[in-house]
Structure 1
């Protein structure tokens, strides 16, 4: 089978198209023929080994000292189950599914084997493989952050870094929940965010995002590492600030700040609870939620795909068509 291997930490040129044997399914695993995968910011961080200082040593030991031990990157897949292990009860061959590979990675390949206990779901009716592949990272994390903030109908929220995989899902989900949404990102993404339902948009490169004092019931910060005093001043009394990508310093600062009040800083990584997938699938099936795809690349052009994500220009999701859907 064709795979893309990361030969060492660094730029997109470290990615190499190769041939490897197909994986053999174990008793508790499903084997998926992958039609679509994605390139997320997290995949690019793993390729570059771009992690906070406090995670450097444990991540080096976990991922690999000189190059990724797993070799094949990618954390989101959509495809068809072609084999199941003897102990698998949730799925059958022929099921069309999407899945998060988590720290197994392995999405840049024509086949993958995953435990049936992993975040795997049947693809909702009406979705293509390309659309379904974007759900595990963007959809799950967006809904997790909104639930962490307890966003409800009538709330006004701000999503900082709204133009990426998580942010474009979060805008739509917040609207589904009945909230009014303001967004911040780079200028080239603002019109797209308006089309998704944002009421006000801010270019973070030329505007102070947090000039709206005491305006928000919640701020969902997808890109910020630490909540500043200016950012917290944008919260209404009783509001909360969700850090989607906290640094160690940001978490320590948040813990100290929460003891003083007012306003809460929250940080919690998504745990892929089944109810998150169930809710997303329902809204996707009903047409209330639409995966946003910026570009699609064939597997052989994964270097170009990574370079585009590195550029920061991606709006929504970037999909890798591993196997054309008509094959």
Structure 2
């Protein structure tokens, strides 16, 4: 099968199109013929691996030294069940599904930068939302699960003010929608060119982080949610960390290890089918242009998700 392999950590040019052996499902696994996957910020972080010495060493313990232990990256997939193991009862051949290759920190599998992937039937895999294309389905899990993880740390009551820093990214666009469903009054921080998008997703207020008067637009919030993490900062971001009401809380995507339980995954499927959330797609690349897609995501200005068609 065709796949994109990461030959070594570093440049996007280390991602190359190769031919590898097609995987075979175990007794409890399904083989998915992939139609779409996505390039996430986490994929770029793993591929680059240019963290400071100690974090880099820890990451290489997890992912492999010199090059990824699994040279085929990617954890998001949507596609069609081509075959299945003899013990699989939840899916049938021909089912259209979407999946995320992580259920917990100890149950994680890469490999969606390819034509096929095998996953256990009881992991984060489900029939794709009936009203979603394969591309849209592939844009749900990453941002949706991480947004769910962030919101799990809150107790939002109707009318509570929530600030979302990085509102236009894959995590931010989902965090807006989930926070609105919880009843929050949402202020989104992003570039002014993305104001209309984040308003369409539910933002009540918007702040351009590049504006000279950005800090003066801050109010006080019950929750300040950082959806981009430590890799990006600004004067506004530093001030927003303290723009809290008494008892308020600053929550960063870089705080702790994100949990991605099956319950949260199925909730996203149900919300998408009810059209209560919608994934945002920035651009779509073919598998052969994976390196270019990584180069684009690495620039840090994508809106929502970058999708790869297989």
TM-score by length of 2: 0.90
In structure 2, what is the Cα distance between the partners aligned to 1:52 and 1:93? 46
In structure 1, what is the Cα distance between the partners aligned to 2:218 and 2:193? 26
In structure 1, what is the Cα distance between the partners aligned to 2:4 and 2:238? 44
| Matched residue, 2:105 | none
In structure 1, what is the Cα distance between the partners aligned to 2:213 and 2:49? 31
Q: Considering only aligned residues, what root-mean-square deviation do their CA atoms show, in Å? A: 2.1
SS in 1 for 2:22: coil
The CA deviation at 1:167 is 0.4
Q: Which residue of 233, 251, 256 corresponds with 1:242?
A: 251
Q: Which moved more, 1:198-207 or 1:26-35?
A: 198-207
SS in 2 for 1:148: coil
| Matched residue, 1:26 | 26
Q: Which residue of 105, 111, 135 corresponds with 1:106?
A: 111
Say yes or no: does 1:182 pair with 2:184.
no
In structure 2, what is the Cα distance between the partners aligned to 1:133 and 1:207? 37
Distance 1:190 1:229, change over 3 A: closer
Q: Which runs of 5+ in 2 are unaligned?
A: 103-107
The CA deviation at 1:72 is 0.8
In structure 2, what is the Cα distance between the partners aligned to 1:184 and 1:38? 24
In structure 1, what is the Cα distance between the partners aligned to 2:215 and 2:84? 51
| Matched residue, 2:291 | 303
SS in 1 for 2:257: coil
Say yes or no: does 1:231 pair with 2:219.
no
Contact 1:76 1:99 in 2 (8 A): yes
The CA deviation at 1:175 is 1.6
- Would you say how many aligned residue pairs link Structure 1 and Structure 2? 301
Distance 1:270 1:58, change over 3 A: closer
Q: Which moved more, 1:171-180 or 1:88-97?
A: 88-97
In structure 2, what is the Cα distance between the partners aligned to 1:292 and 1:236? 31
| Matched residue, 1:291 | 279
| Matched residue, 2:174 | 169
In structure 1, what is the Cα distance between the partners aligned to 2:212 and 2:205? 12
The CA deviation at 1:67 is 1.3
| Matched residue, 2:264 | 276
Runs ≥4 residues deviating over 6 A = 226-229
| Matched residue, 1:152 | 157
Say yes or no: does 1:219 pair with 2:224.
yes
Distance 1:207 1:216, change over 3 A: farther
Contact 1:38 1:319 in 2 (8 A): yes
Post-superposition CA distance 1:105-160 (Å, at most 9, x none): 11110000112232112211211111111222101111221121122321110001
| Matched residue, 1:198 | 203
In structure 1, what is the Cα distance between the partners aligned to 2:10 and 2:248? 40
Post-superposition CA distance 1:268-326 (Å, at most 9, x none): 4332222212322222111121111010011111111111101112100010001xxxx
Distance 1:51 1:27, change over 3 A: farther
Post-superposition CA distance 1:234-257 (Å, at most 9, x none): 111222111112xxxxxxxxxxxx
Q: Which runs of 5+ in 1 are unaligned?
A: 246-266, 323-327
| Matched residue, 1:57 | 57
The CA deviation at 1:97 is 1.3
In structure 1, what is the Cα distance between the partners aligned to 2:279 and 2:66? 36
In structure 1, what is the Cα distance between the partners aligned to 2:300 and 2:45? 13
| Matched residue, 1:73 | 73
Say yes or no: does 1:88 pair with 2:84.
no
TM-score by length of 1: 0.85
Q: Which moved more, 1:139-148 or 1:217-226?
A: 217-226
